[in-house]
Structures are given as C-alpha cells and as structure tokens.
Structure 1
Amino acid sequence: MLRPPTLPRRSSSFETPRVGVYKVFDREAKRLQKDFAARRDGGERSRTVDYLRDEVAERLMERFLDIKRKFDTIIDLGCGPGHFSKLLEPNKTRKVVMIDSSRESLYRDPDEEFDVEIERIHADEESLLNILPRQSQEAVVSCLSLHWINDLPGVLVQVKEALKPDGLFLGAMFGGDTLFELRTALQLAELDREGGISPHVSPMTDTRDVSNLLGRAGFTLLTVDTDEVRVGYPSMWELLEDLKDMGEGNAIFGRRHFIHRDTLAAASAIYKEMHGTEDGTVPATFQVIYMIGWKPSPTQRQPLERGSAEMSLKDVL
C-alpha cells in the first residue's frame, strides 16, 4: 500500500463538444480545478501529491517498454505536468508532444526534468482532431485523464484517426471501483443525515466497456487489463485534501457545491468503521484500467481463419 508524503495541512477558450454529446462533466470547472491545484503554493502542494500519478505512470511505462519499437514522436494526451513523459528515454523516442487543457499544470515543471525533446500544446483533449492532422502520429499515450472525458467513444475515434496505420494507442484510466470506500461512506452518511444522496465521486468506466469501446473505435490487437493502487491515509480528511491538490475534485454537472460538516464527520466515522485497518489508517483504492490498441494496417499480423488449424487442441492436451 502506498503512503502519501506527510504534509502540514493548511483561461483559455475551448471548443464545446459537438451537439448531441451528453455532457456529464463540467470541463471548464475541471480546468479551473487543475489550474488552481497546479499553482497552489507555487506548485509545491501539487508535487507532494504526485505519488499516485507517478506510480500509475511507472506501471504504464512497464507496458510501453514491452513494445519493441522506437517512435520518432509520441503524443501525451491529458499529460498534466508530464508524469509519463518524464520517464521517456531517447532509446524509445526522439520527441514527446504534451497536450493538456490546464495551462498551469502543463507548464508546472521545467524542461530540464525531461530526457527527450518536448513540445507543449494547451488545448482541450476532447477536440484532438482540431490539433493533430489525420494519420499523422505514430503513438498516442494517455495517463489518467480519460475519466474526465464526456464523449469517450468519440475521443477514442479521434485518437484512431490521428494515428498512422499500425500506430499505437496506450492508455491508463481510473475504473469503476475507484474510491469505492469513499463513495459508500459518503452515501451512507448523507442518507442518514439528510435523507437522500447525491453524486460526490465521478461515474467511471467498467473494464468490459473499455474493450468494447476500443473495438468500436476501430482499434485492433487489443490488450486490456486492470490493476489496483491502494493508498493509506490517517483519515478521510487527508484523502479529500489530497484529491483537491491533485485537481481531482468533483466536476459533475449538477453537483452540490457544499456538504454539511456533520455529514462529512459522519462519513469519516463510517469510513473508519467499515474500512479502517489495524494500524489506524484508512485505505483508498484506485482501480486502474490499462489498454493497448493498434490502428489497423495491412502489415500487421492477422489471425488465422476459423477452421484452418492443422492440429486438434484435443491432441495437444
């Protein structure tokens, strides 16, 4: 279980998603949250809570290193300050293009922290084809930003269209079981104290949905797997503070902007009672879905036709 570092507790224009897209998330509110988090205390608070994204970036890099290919340029979509890009080395790529909707987060860290050439583009990830020409990229990577996308199927289609044939898409996003401890504690406390519940933790994609979405977007040779990162906190209050410093506050349309203090106190007690550990801490579980997809190409290895096997599986076994 990860342990966050001990810490004393103390605009640009974007294109609106196309008509017809059901919008769950307030993208402008999310941009402001990320901007505020990145510049708080000169960025020091934001750097202190990098532990989660750094851990996921390292696990995503392990999957990337299994791909025995060097890419001239890689797109880091929804990059933040570059958790994944900072791990790239010249033997895997010459250049990385970092794209993020939050200018403060995008420019938080200086260029000398990167080992490869970088270019930064401040733009909305939901309008990727307004930034990149079709069939222009060798690889697109996204590390923990897709869970704030309103039109996830549409963005995956845009990623596929931006890739060259046999281009790579590599992604990591939070799955549906993320922060289930916090979700249940808040719901039970709100039901008890206020007689109803409202959403405080964002809806997230299920593992099975990711495979279907990648296939519908036109990707092939799919690989999807899940992992968990568990972080121990002294109490629910430290978790909420770290989520704020990560820029991961609630950004659902119609969200409540205020929760009564006694409701939060009840949630903290329920959290500790239901999920507390023997050492007095409470765990927070982050489910991460990792995905790999390739844009179809005539040069890719193709599966054999059904019925073309030369040996029976029964004989092998």
Structure 2
Amino acid sequence: MIARFAFLLAGALVLAGCEAGGETVENDQLTPSPILYEIADAKGEPQGWLFGTIHALPDGVEWRTADLERVIDQAQLLVVEVGDLSDTRSINSTFTTLATTPGQPDIRTRVDAEDRQQLDEMMAKGHFSSRDFANVETWAAALMLARVSNTGSPRNGADKALLLEFPDHRVRELEGTLTQMRIFDDLAPQDQTDLLTGIIDEYRSLGDNPERLRKAWLSGDEEGLINATQSGIMADPELYEALLAGRNRAWMKEIDDLLADGPNPLIAVGAAHLVGPDGLTTLIEQRGYTLTRLQ
C-alpha cells in the first residue's frame, strides 16, 4: 500500500513514512528514465513539461537524467502537489487535527474477523497497540499502519529533490497538505474501512511489490504504472475517484491557466496521475496540446 502512496499522495506519504529510512538499494541495473513529457501548443510551441514523480525512495536510487536536468534549467516554475514537504511538523499537526475524534470503536472491530490476525501482526510490527487508535478515525489508522510496509523514505522523494532546485517564489502547489488530508477525511465510512482493509490485504499477500513498482517508475514503464492505478485499493471505484481521477480533474483548471499564460512550468506530480484514461496526459491532450515523450 505504501508503494501506491508513493505515486499518489506526497503529504500523506510524509506522514506515513516519516520514521522510515535507512534502507539502501543499488540502482537495480536500470537506466533511469522516469516519464517526462514536453507539452506544446497547437502551433508546436513548447508550453511546459510534465514529469511523473515518486514521493519516496530508498537511499541510493539514481534517477536524475540529462534530459530532466535540461528541463529543470529551462523551466520557469515548478508545480507540485504539496509545496513544503520539509515542514513535517505542520504536516503532522494537520493530520492530528483532522484524524482525531474521541470515542472511536476498537480498531480490531473495524475489520472483519478474518483480517484481525494480520492487523495484530501489523500493529506489533509498527509498535502500536489498540489504545493508540482509540481516538483515531479509520482513514488515519490506515495511514499510520501503511508505514509498517514502507521500504523508502520521503526524504529521497523526487518531488522533494526538485523543490530544492527552485526558490519558493517559483513554486506553485496544486493542493497543499490540508487539501490532501481532507481527501481522506471526507471519505465515507465504508470507503475508510475499504482503505484499511486494502492495506491489510496487501500486507497479507505481499502482492503489491514495492520493488516492482519502483522499477516501473524508474524505467518509465507506463503499462506497469497503469496497472498500479487499477489494482489493489485503486480497483475500488470510490477510492479511485477520490485519490486519483477527481484530483486530476481538479488540478486541470490551474494547469490550464499555467499553460495558457506562462511562465513555462515543470509540472511534477505522482507518476500514477499521468497515465491511463483519467491521467493528466489524456486531459491535457483533450485541451488541444501535443505531448512528446522525452524519456
């Protein structure tokens, strides 16, 4: 599950993975080629770039390329999901404010009986007890438990690295931490339960292989990324709409304005947001722009 957050929600991943890190991997013997597009208008004039990020990585993963470095030098503005990923105190404060509601049911009663053994195992691995969730809403409990399976750190996230390349006045955020957290807080109770159950399912099966998804991102494997948006919890229509499709549509008003008026932006968001029928590449092309893949 944490691997999906790595492609979807920057602020939520900072929260979910704030204690993670220390794992080091070699560069998987892959030539780095994360998805990068140039966006041109109807006349063929470049209007900006679209880059698919990953919000967390283990230490030692090399992902920057000559093409990306050139785009960084040329871009006049960086557009990201959350602009201040370094402010973990603020992110955690926002989470605590939204997540806390006294008198929540015991966490073990919020899942089916067949999931309780895995839930207990996850809590033990994360050094949690049921008391830790006594006043925590189900969506927030899901995020807290997601970090149990974390294999990367948000300190190594691609978007965080890009933020270091641009001064604050040349950074624009599409959502911000509060908006991202409210996506979860606004989920219907059943959808929150589905989120928690999905995390447990993926922990149980280990089917959501973070190394596989990380390699898909690193190599620019669009088919692998599309699969990540259609499986696991993302196969749930309500969660797919809330976490992916609805957010893409909401971002397009800002993106429309930026592409129309300049300055030429580098739009760097989770790679899952670029691909598939509801992806930003599709939505931008529907506005009459041409996208040319650079890597």
TM-score by length of 2: 0.23
- TM-score, with structure 1 as normaliser: 0.22
- Structure with the greater alpha carbon radius of gyration: 1
Determine which structure has the larger helix proportion and give its number: 2
Structure ranking higher in strand proportion: 1
